[in-house]
Amino acid sequence: MATSLKQSTVLVVDDFPSMRTMMLGFLKTMGVTATDNVGNAKEALALLAKKQYDIVICDYNLGHGKNGQQIFEEAKYKNHIGYSTIWVMVTAEKTMDMFMGAAETKPDDYLLKPVTVTLLEGRLNKLIERKKLLEPIEKAVKSKDYIRAIALCDEQLKVHSQNTQELLRIKGDLLMTVGDYPAAKTFFESVLAVRSLPWAKTGLGAVHFMTKDFFHAKEIFQEVLEENKMYLEAADWLAKSLDALGDTEQAQGVLAKAMELSPLASGRQKSLADVALKNGALDLAQSSYEKAIKLGEHSIHKSSNTYAGLAKVLTAKDNPAEALKVLGRSKEEFKDDHEAALQAAVIEGMAYHKMGEPEKAEEALAVAEGLMRAQPRNINVTTTMEMANVLFELGHKDKACGLLEGVVKNNHENTDILNMVEAAFEEAGIGEEGSELIKKTSQEVVDINNQGVVLANEGKFEEGIKLMKKALQTAPDNDQMITNLCGMMIGLMTKNGKDDRMIFEVREHLDRVRKLNPLNTKYNTLTNALSKLSSPPSA
């Protein structure tokens, strides 16, 4: 980390040689001697991979290829730059598209041209100061010790400073990350009591959304947009809320309008495509997926889901041959991506089935089965359901039921998913048999969990851990089972003393729980217990 501006190593990225010369002149005036400069994204990324920089001054608009934001995201994603690197984006004008990313993919500062030496020097010195202050918080976040990070925020928030606003936003994000929704609600409300700020109001809406109060969430996001129609993060949330309320038509409208305001947002373009597909607006879905693929071209955020979506639309539009081509491209683009391969195989099965080529469909599904066996964790529920549907249609009832049984095991308390499974059974004409299977499978999971609780109460943690780990082999994504496992591991450590490796394992498990089910009620208690356990004993 840079301790002073003069000692910093600086990289300048700009496609205009005259701009680079000017910037280097500025840096020289400030007494900075360790500088490099490049004119395009490729060279920038190559240098960033090789060398550690304290400060990167990057032009946003670099002509063809990746823009400044995409370089920044890729460098961050590939760990070429750490949290201590100061990234300053230089731009001739502010555009909506520059402000779309999530908080963690925002550069440290934007500078509007013309940049003068005094302005640059002032800002860089401030940023170095700010990095120093935020360093301990970012370190805690990096090691996933969110509870500590929140405590550090509170500590710094005791005095009002230049960083107050930023600290408040970080704290809000952290409270959402740990899923402490009651605390998050109180927090956002207290910020809003002083002033209506779009980020805080959107945070409050997100609390309602996460706690499944979609109606209130919708109202709040609508308010944010009324007050500030350019705060498009609220439009994304509003669309999600409308979708959850079943109003997919309106969700489509909201996203389409947001795309007009910020036409380069590939993620939102994909969301628009997804909801259009749901609404059966196949032409819009097709053009939106195509646009999303194009927009994501240079971005690390490009997703195989977009290709899968386009292939699904094409299959639905009776053009399975074209769908297969898209899937071919996807396989090419996402070579070592397990999820992409699985998705492609399942949709290939759908396409071949539609083409009336059952043998090829079988072949594709056999590939999919192999992939699922090789990597049973984190399998997308939608992909599994789609696969089960094709299997039913091809007459493989047992295989289809097996898949759906797996879905139930992983989600035995998620009524939305259970309803989807039930609908799939009904579609296949075996509604009654299906309901029976759902009931039986759910009960099995409940029994194992209960057994675990008994063992834990008796202090037989090792035995309980063994039981849970075995059960998780067939239900790897069941968040309740994982939390029970974590409880027992923490119990064991409380009894026998802490073990760094086990602490790390529990942290990983809890992180998965958070992703699998943001509403898991035990997550918070366990995170706190772990935080207490892992902090050094007080004297």
Partner 1 sequence: MHQEDIDFSDFIASSIHDMKNSLNIQVGFLEELMEECRGKIGEPMLSQLGHTIYEVSRMNVNLIQILSLYKLGKSIYPIDIAEQSVNEVLKEVVLQNQTAMGYKGITASVVCDEDCYWYFDRDLVTGVLVNALNNAYNYTKDKILIVANVRDGMLEVRVEDNGEGYPEEMLQESIAVKKGVSFASGSTGLGLYFSSRVAGMHKNAGKHGYLSIENGGTYNGGCFVLRLP
Task: By CB under 8 A, name the one of 8, 248, 262, 478 that touches partner 1.
Answer: 262
Find out whether 59 and 91 touch, Cβ atoms under 8 Å: yes
Task: By CB under 8 A, name the one of 30, 117, 133, 453 that touches partner 1.
Answer: 117
Nearer to partner 1 among residue 98 and residue 418 (C-beta): 98
Nearer to partner 1 among residue 169 and residue 522 (C-beta): 169
Take residue 104 and report the two structure tokens written for it.
């963690």
DSSP assignment string, 127-159: HHHHHHHHHHHHHHHHTT-HHHHHHHHHHHHTS
How many amino acids of this chain bind partner 1 (CB under 8 A)?
37
Task: By CB under 8 A, name the one of 50, 64, 158, 160 that touches partner 1.
Answer: 160
Closest CA to 364 of 384, 382, 387, 337: 387
By CB under 8 A, tell whether 229 contacts partner 1. Answer: yes
DSSP assignment string, 362-431: HHHHHHHHHHHHH--TT--HHHHHHHHHHHHHTT-HHHHHHHHHHHHHHTTT-HHHHHHHHHHHHHTT-H
Q: What sign results for the dihedral spanned by CA atoms 379, 381, 382, 388?
A: positive
Sequence-distant (≥ 6) Cβ neighbours of residue 364 within 8 angstroms: 345, 346, 348, 349, 352
By CB under 8 A, tell whether 19 contacts partner 1. Answer: yes
Nearer to partner 1 among residue 198 and residue 376 (C-beta): 198
Shortest separation between residue 308's beta carbon and partner 1, angstroms: 29
By CB under 8 A, tell whether 96 contacts partner 1. Answer: yes
Nearer to partner 1 among residue 181 and residue 221 (C-beta): 221
Shortest separation between residue 182's beta carbon and partner 1, angstroms: 26
Nearer to partner 1 among residue 16 and residue 77 (C-beta): 16
DSSP assignment string, 450-476: HHHHHHHHTT-HHHHHHHHHHHHHH-T
Nearer to partner 1 among residue 122 and residue 370 (C-beta): 122
Please give the biggest Cα pair distance in the chain.
79
- Tokens 């994501």 locate to 296
Nearer to partner 1 among residue 17 and residue 246 (C-beta): 17
Closest CA to 248 of 271, 269, 232: 271
By CB under 8 A, tell whether 198 contacts partner 1. Answer: yes
Take residue 72 and report the two structure tokens written for it.
């920044």
Nearer to partner 1 among residue 151 and residue 230 (C-beta): 230
Find out whether 392 and 351 touch, Cβ atoms under 8 Å: no
Nearer to partner 1 among residue 113 and residue 439 (C-beta): 113
Q: Which stretch binds partner 1 (CB under 8 A): 49-57, 114-122, 144-152, 442-450?
A: 114-122
By CB under 8 A, tell whether 94 contacts partner 1. Answer: yes
Contact pattern from residue 307 through residue 346 relative to partner 1, giving x for each residue in contact according to CB under 8 A and a dash for the rest: ----------------------------------------
Task: By CB under 8 A, name the one of 50, 114, 497, 500 that touches partner 1.
Answer: 114
Shortest separation between residue 188's beta carbon and partner 1, angstroms: 16
Shortest separation between residue 60's beta carbon and partner 1, angstroms: 12
Shortest separation between residue 165's beta carbon and partner 1, angstroms: 4
Q: H-helix or E-strand containing 11? A: strand 9-13
By CB under 8 A, tell whether 16 contacts partner 1. Answer: yes
By CB under 8 A, tell whether 92 contacts partner 1. Answer: yes
Shortest separation between residue 174's beta carbon and partner 1, angstroms: 19
Shortest separation between residue 283's beta carbon and partner 1, angstroms: 18
CA distances from residue 530 to 28, 149, 490, 506, 517 in whole angstroms, order as listed: 49, 14, 7, 8, 19
Task: By CB under 8 A, name the one of 7, 33, 143, 165 that touches partner 1.
Answer: 165
Find out whether 60 and 90 touch, Cβ atoms under 8 Å: yes
Closest CA to 100 of 193, 233, 205: 233
Take residue 417 and report the two structure tokens written for it.
């998913």
Footprint of partner 1 on residues 401-420 (CB under 8 A)?
Answer: none
Q: Which stretch binds partner 1 (CB under 8 A): 223-231, 298-306, 318-326, 328-336?
A: 223-231
Q: Identify the three-state secondary structure at position 34.
A: strand
Vertex 412, ends 411 and 417: CA angle to 5°?
Answer: 55
Task: By CB under 8 A, name the one of 33, 52, 125, 164 that touches partner 1.
Answer: 164
Task: By CB under 8 A, name the one of 1, 49, 103, 112 that touches partner 1.
Answer: 112
Nearer to partner 1 among residue 264 and residue 316 (C-beta): 264
Shortest separation between residue 266's beta carbon and partner 1, angstroms: 17
Shortest separation between residue 231's beta carbon and partner 1, angstroms: 8
Take residue 8 and report the two structure tokens written for it.
């910093």
What is the residue type of 385? M
CA distances from residue 384 to 367, 387, 410, 417 in whole angstroms, order as listed: 13, 5, 12, 11
Take residue 290 and report the two structure tokens written for it.
């195509």
By CB under 8 A, tell whether 195 contacts partner 1. Answer: yes
> String of b and e for 212-228 (b: at least 16 CB within 10 Å)?
eebeebbebbbbbbeee
Q: Which stretch binds partner 1 (CB under 8 A): 22-30, 77-85, 146-154, 412-420?
A: 22-30
By CB under 8 A, tell whether 443 contacts partner 1. Answer: no
By CB under 8 A, tell whether 119 contacts partner 1. Answer: yes
By CB under 8 A, tell whether 18 contacts partner 1. Answer: yes
Shortest separation between residue 235's beta carbon and partner 1, angstroms: 12
Q: What does the binding site for partner 1 look like in residue numbers (CB under 8 A)?
A: 16, 18-19, 22, 25, 29, 92-96, 98-99, 112-119, 122, 126, 160, 162, 164-165, 195-198, 227-230, 261-262
